[in-house]
Amino acid sequence: MRRFETNLLHQIHRRGDGVQKCSVLIACSGGGDSVALLLCMVALRTSLKLELAVAHVDHGLRPESKEEAEYVKTLCEKFGLDMFACSLDVIDHASRTNQGLEMAARELRWSWLKKEATNFGAGWIATGHTIEDHTETVFLRLARGSGPGCLSGLSATQAPRWSPLIECNREELRAYLCGLNIEWREDYTNDTGFTPRNRWRKHLTDFRAEAPCIDRHLWETHRQISDLLELRNAVVFSWRGTRWDIIECKYIWLNIGWKTGDLAWVLEAAFRELNIIREYTHIFDLADWVSKVLFRPIKRPWKWGNWSLYPHLCGASLQLGVPNNPDCG
């Protein structure tokens, strides 16, 4: 086993990915990242006791796509892997659903991949996401919102997706392929400003020139944030039923005696369950108001914008201000 493959196996075990003694469907486009993924999975399949197959999607957006499909087929034949392939009409789907091409392609691709994984009996779909993909995702999420969830980026496992190369960078993947004398196909659209991710990719080139370790630092931040979120969610869950609860999908019951920060955690968890979207600033301001009111004897409803706080036998109920919110599942 080559040093790169040994290091990758160590990363998989250290993270506790838990993907072993099972079937895995490898998503391979023919690009450098996914070809490296295919070869790594072949190299590690005995150590991880994996049964492998390959899935290739032709999105029909570039004239080179048919040649790329043939190249992936050649690789599968070389390594004795079954290959599942399909062609998708992304343009038609984008038009019918009023989506951008990137979102439409992703939706169709994952719908097909999940179906093929089920047919193959695979619990995991391996993707070639790298540490640079993780960094790009963090910046994309930060541009849309805020909070610890933005910094969590891409995890190695989010069933059914498994990204074993998530701590590897693109340069070392290509060096690995060159060392094996294996070719790959470059998608020239990755260098255009066609999608927000591609535009961020160009911006991050300058970031990396100034801070070469930014990808690694963001990955380590992601690991710590993930641990903290897990701890926070466990604490919030432990309070449910004694300090807070959801009643009839319309009220949040709250016992007395809350700190603003703790109550903001609770409201955020309750809002997720109730399918209510609010900026964290709004949640924190609401929690601040409720925590102050809950330290007073409540004998009448209190109002804050569209929110109402009603008296309760042993605490208070916070009534959601928009009556047409979707019911919780």
CA-based max dimension of the chain? 77
The alpha carbon torsion through 196, 198, 199, 205 (nearest 10 deg) reads 140
Position 326 scores a pLDDT of 45
Superfamily of domain 3-223: HUPs (3.40.50.620)
pLDDT less than 50: residues of the chain? 322-323, 326-329
Which two structure tokens, joined as six digits, stand for 211? 């801070």
pLDDT tens track for 122-179: 999 999 999 999 999 999 888 887 677 777 778 999 999 999 999 999 999 999 999 9
Of 315, 325, 224, give the one whose Cα is nearest residue 270: 325
Percent of the chain whose pLDDT exceeds 90 = 60
Domain residue extents for the chain: 3-223, 240-319
Position 194 scores a pLDDT of 67
Position 64 scores a pLDDT of 84
What average pLDDT does the chain have?
Answer: 89
Position 126 scores a pLDDT of 98
| CA torsion through residues 171, 176, 133, 97, sign | positive
pLDDT tens track for 260-273: 999 999 999 999 99
Position 84 scores a pLDDT of 97
**The pTM is what?**
0.82
For residues 125 and 161, the answer to whether their CB atoms sit within 8 Å is yes
Position 146 scores a pLDDT of 65
